[in-house]
Amino acid sequence: MAKSTKKKNLGLQTAAPKLKKPRKPSKRKVAHPPTAETRHASTGSAAAVMDRLWSVVMSRRTADPAISHSARLLARGTAKVAQKFGEEAVECLIEAVAGNRDAQIAESADVLYHLIVLWVASGIRPEEVWDELKRREGISGIAEKAARARSLPVAFGLETTKIP
């Protein structure tokens, strides 16, 4: 009589497991996360979105503050707009530290909106910011910050140095 490969009390087989043959690497292309270019091709570039939002906020400068949040913020003056921007930035930081990804994304959108309202209140056009970002592109962040740390106090007539 042949020995049974099953254990009677557990109903489990004790035979050695069959090994699967190794798979050949697939020739299919691996899907990679979308690049900025592919994302922007379908949704418009991030700068274009910001430019459109800036145009909308600019158009709200003369709107009724009772029906436009942007008009209400702008009517309160640059200092209040800056305060609101700071509050939104802190809320974004809180969500980041808490690890609340979805809330951080929502708060990030609020920060960008309020930054644009601040630009409008301050008379800054988006292309001025884009030009500054282009100027900094390819420059080491450490070197760029060190150069600003030396030039800013001098530009404002201060006799201090900022630690970069």
Q: Which two tokens stand for residue 57?
A: 């906020």
User: Three-class SS of residue 111?
Assistant: helix
The first and second tokens of residue 132, run together, are 């500054």
Q: What is the DSSP string of 39-66?
A: HHHHH--HHHHHHHHHHHHHHGGGS-TT
Query: What is the pTM (predicted TM-score) of this model?
Result: 0.63
- For the chain, give every domain's residue range: 44-131
- Per-block average pLDDT, block size 10, for the chain (164 residues)? 48 51 54 50 75 96 96 97 98 98 97 98 94 87 71 64 51
- Could you tell me what percentage of the chain is helix, strand and coil, using 3-state DSSP and rounding each to the nearest 5? 60, 0, 35
Quote the CA–CA distance of 1 and 83 in Å, as a whole number.
88
Which SS3 state, helix, strand or coil, does residue 137 take? coil
Q: Specify the pLDDT at position 47.
A: 85
Cα separation, 119 vs 129, whole angstroms = 10
- Residue 7's pLDDT is 44
Choose the CATH number for 44-131 among 3.30.70.960, 3.20.20.150, 3.30.930.10, 1.10.287.1080.
1.10.287.1080
- Note the pLDDT of residue 138: 86
pLDDT of res. 146: 75
In this prediction, residue 8 carries a pLDDT of 47
